[in-house]
Structure 1
Amino acid sequence: MTTRSVELLRVVHAHPGVTRADAARRLGIGTGAATELVSRLAQAHLLAEAPAAPSGARGRPTTVLVPHPDGPLVVAAEITHEGWRLDVVELGGATLTSVSGTHTDTSWPSVVATVNAATDALYKTYPGRLRAMGVSVPGTVSRTLRLDATNLGWHDVDLTELWPSTVFVAGNDASLAAAAESARGAATGARLALHLRIEGGLGGAAVDQGRLLIGASGYSGEFGHMPFGDPGISCPCGARGCWGTAVDGTALARHLGHPAPHDPVSYARRVIASAVASRHGVLVAESLAAADGGSVGGAESGEWQAVCTVAAALGRGIAGLVNGLDADLVTLGGVGVDLLAAAEAEIQAAYRAGLMAIRRDDPPPILPAALGADGPIAGAGEEAWSSLIPHLA
């Protein structure tokens, strides 16, 4: 395939519904050359043209470039602590099929067998069309595609067992969510975007003009293990004072005097929701008392105080990363979205206090992730397509 062909496929993938004329402008080529490229890719069963949605304007109906109906597809996979999900994704990012299940056995060989069986079924549904796989996993992934997920007992496992074919990519769930937010979410167009995702700990990634920064060994983005937390608290990673231990569900449980929760994500969301409801009740009571010329005594609930403490720890850490990385935008995923909705004032106050003075007049915004829970698997699909396009014949 020519370089121009690869570039055109990338344009169609990044801009679903693009017209041939607009694609030509983006590539800096003439309409004649674009027509020739589209014809060649159509013959290769990679692209097709379809009528555009009616615009009401006069003139010849416009057509848009779309994936060929018999064209290649990728499998985007997400493996979590609780289960798995496989999406079949076409050029342009649309999902054609999605299947999922829960782990009956969390041993790595059992997970591989289950995912492989589901993949085999998809092969039968789309014979000859599944050409690549991208996998999101809850742990660190090396450049040699070895996974270490301490909480699940998966140590140095070979991720390529999930897809023995040539085009295979894998990454940490938070890193792939960052890639997806930059490609199709809240960070689209950012120069350097910082994404943070709170689940059972904190992870994330920096994306430089659309390129995911993975580091020398592939372990970049472990922001939760920066020493922004309490140095008296041990982390399962072996270090002390990790930031993740100050902002996740285990931090809330510690502040409330509860044992470490089995499922820190569900626990955190329950506590945050309960704290918000309690806080709302206090504010309503204060408002009614003020209207009557009186006052309401009593302190805020312990849950609300715990949420505020965790929110402030999150804001301080974000400031440190923005100071160091010069990010122009920050997105939050997972429980980070819940904290931002519940205690944005506390996050913002700690964030601004921790920023260098030169940044405070126009601080990079902190936004909720647009793709939500679909971020990691969407990122797996994006990375799979990015790797596949140069291989297409």
Structure 2
Amino acid sequence: MASASRWHAVAQVLAALLRRPDATRAEIARELGLTSGFATELTARMRELRLITEVRAPVHGRGRPTTVLAPHPEGPVVLAVELRHADYAVSVATVDGRLHGTRRRPHRQRRPEAVVQALRRTVGRARDRYGHRLRAVSIAVAATVHDGRVVQASTLGWGEVDLTAVLQDPPAGVRDLAFLVGNDATLAGVAEARTGAATGAGTALHLIVEVGIGGCLTVDGFPLTGAHGAAGEYGHLPFGSRGRRCPCGARGCWDLDVDGRALARHLGEPSPADPYGYAVEVLRRAADDVRARRAVGAVARALAGGIAGLVNVHDPGVVTLGGLGPAIRLGAAEAFARAYADGLIAYRRVAPPPVVDAAHAEWGPLRGAAIVGLDRALGEEFLGAWAAR
């Protein structure tokens, strides 16, 4: 069972369970092309290793009772974290990708050292509760991530920050804990491609509007992150006015044309301290306020035109839109549709890639962090370490 081929098969079963929670042993065997006998042997060994168990499936009408694969109650878990402008979210993910005990907490302070200290306490509590079962800590952050490091988080007012400090002084027994940091929009795209609105699409583009806009291109469920993991900074494409300088240091960034800062500018109001909250309020007012409605229309056109440009570049099968994106589009549906069509190369207008709302909404980054954490924790190398215990 310790052979490379067997660990490969175990990893495949766990990956299938992540894609299809509550699948039966027979369903997974068919998906992976395993014989019935080998699937039975494999799942029995995985039960012994406390990776999975089998539980009775809910009964729907007549038929023979069956069982489905489920996480073992003493199996591995991943701590998923999302860092946003005003708060952070924490959840524990089991091997089927389900999130447990999810909660959001506001930042008491946004200084990097204060946030890191809060996360250290959170990780410490998870270690105390789960011990060696905790196999990875995976963080989604609204920041540029380069080689696994936060190098700039303009919405948080951060420069380079070392988030590995949340794992200082690991106790004995958890020194093989994996640690991952990823951009929030990239991880939200992973969640949509694996378990959301882009499931089944070979190539998918995900965009998320919050404070600015980010996203990622996924191929077969995996993100194209570039040479250093920093790809997908779509908000810093020069789709905006060259007369405006972005907090990132560049001029003309698309970020400044698609969020609360753009809405304030169109309304002749000061740039808001909380662009996300301000945008939510303007979108609410737009139902009865003509000026707010016009501002939303201008932002919707800027958003749709940029999406068209990215479709021309990437040729995705579907575009998923998260964060404030769906509300902006809904608030000016005709303007959005016209700008999207006008920005496409002519031949694409015959059958343009659909732009659909993200399935995971605000929880996409957290779900994506859990998925990539489980990818690492349930890989062949880490499975060997788990079995050795």
Give the one of 330, 347, 355 matched to 1:358.
Answer: 347
Q: Deviations over 1:189-223 (max 9, x none)?
A: 11211111111111111111101111112111111
Matched, 1:145 2:134: no
How far residue 146 of structure 1 moved from its aligned partner, in angstroms, is 3.5
1:235 is paired with a residue whose SS is coil
Give the one of 5, 11, 23 matched to 1:18.
Answer: 23
Q: Distance in 2 between matches of 1:253 and 1:58?
A: 60
Indicate if the aligned counterparts of 2:148 and 2:181 stay in contact, CA closer than 8 A. no
Unaligned runs of 5+ in 1: 279-300
Amino acid at match of 1:177: A
Unaligned runs of 5+ in 2: 169-174
Matched, 1:28 2:39: no
Q: Distance in 2 between matches of 1:325 and 1:365?
A: 14
Match of 1:80 in 2: 84
Q: Deviations over 1:153-206 (max 9, x none)?
A: 322211222236541111111111111111111111112111111111111111
Q: Deviations over 1:243-288 (max 9, x none)?
A: 111111111111111110011111111112211233xxxxxxxxxx
Aligned-residue CA RMSD (Å): 1.4
Match of 1:372 in 2: 361
Aligned length: 370
Amino acid at match of 2:179: F
Indicate if the aligned counterparts of 2:150 and 2:163 stay in contact, CA closer than 8 A. yes
| Percent of paired sites with the same residue | 42
Indicate if the aligned counterparts of 2:148 and 2:180 stay in contact, CA closer than 8 A. no
How far residue 47 of structure 1 moved from its aligned partner, in angstroms, is 1.0
Indicate if the aligned counterparts of 1:78 and 1:84 stay in contact, CA closer than 8 A. yes
How far residue 101 of structure 1 moved from its aligned partner, in angstroms, is 2.1
Give the one of 164, 186, 190 matched to 1:160.
Answer: 164
Match of 2:284 in 1: 273
Larger Rg: 1
Amino acid at match of 2:150: R
Q: Deviations over 1:28-78 (max 9, x none)?
A: 11000000100111110001111111133333x211111111101000001
Q: Deviations over 1:294-323 (max 9, x none)?
A: xxxxxxx22221111111111111110000
Q: Deviations over 1:118-156 (max 9, x none)?
A: 222222332332111110111011124334213433222
Matches within 5 A, 1:141-220: 141-163=145-167, 165=175, 166-220=177-231
Q: Distance in 1 between matches of 2:185 and 2:339?
A: 23
Match of 1:295 in 2: none
Give the one of 289, 309, 323 matched to 1:334.
Answer: 323
Matched, 1:43 2:32: no
Q: Distance in 1 between matches of 2:63 and 2:74?
A: 32
Which piece of structure 1 moves more, 324-333 or 163-172? 163-172
Q: Distance in 2 between matches of 1:225 and 1:238?
A: 10
Which piece of structure 1 moves more, 101-110 or 194-203? 101-110
Match of 1:297 in 2: none
Matched, 1:307 2:322: no
Amino acid at match of 1:253: A
CA shift in 2, pair 1:89/1:144, >3 Å:
closer
1:155 is paired with a residue whose SS is coil
How far residue 12 of structure 1 moved from its aligned partner, in angstroms, is 1.3
Length-normalised TM-score, structure 2: 0.92
Give the one of 332, 342, 351 matched to 1:343.
Answer: 332
Indicate if the aligned counterparts of 2:148 and 2:182 stay in contact, CA closer than 8 A. no
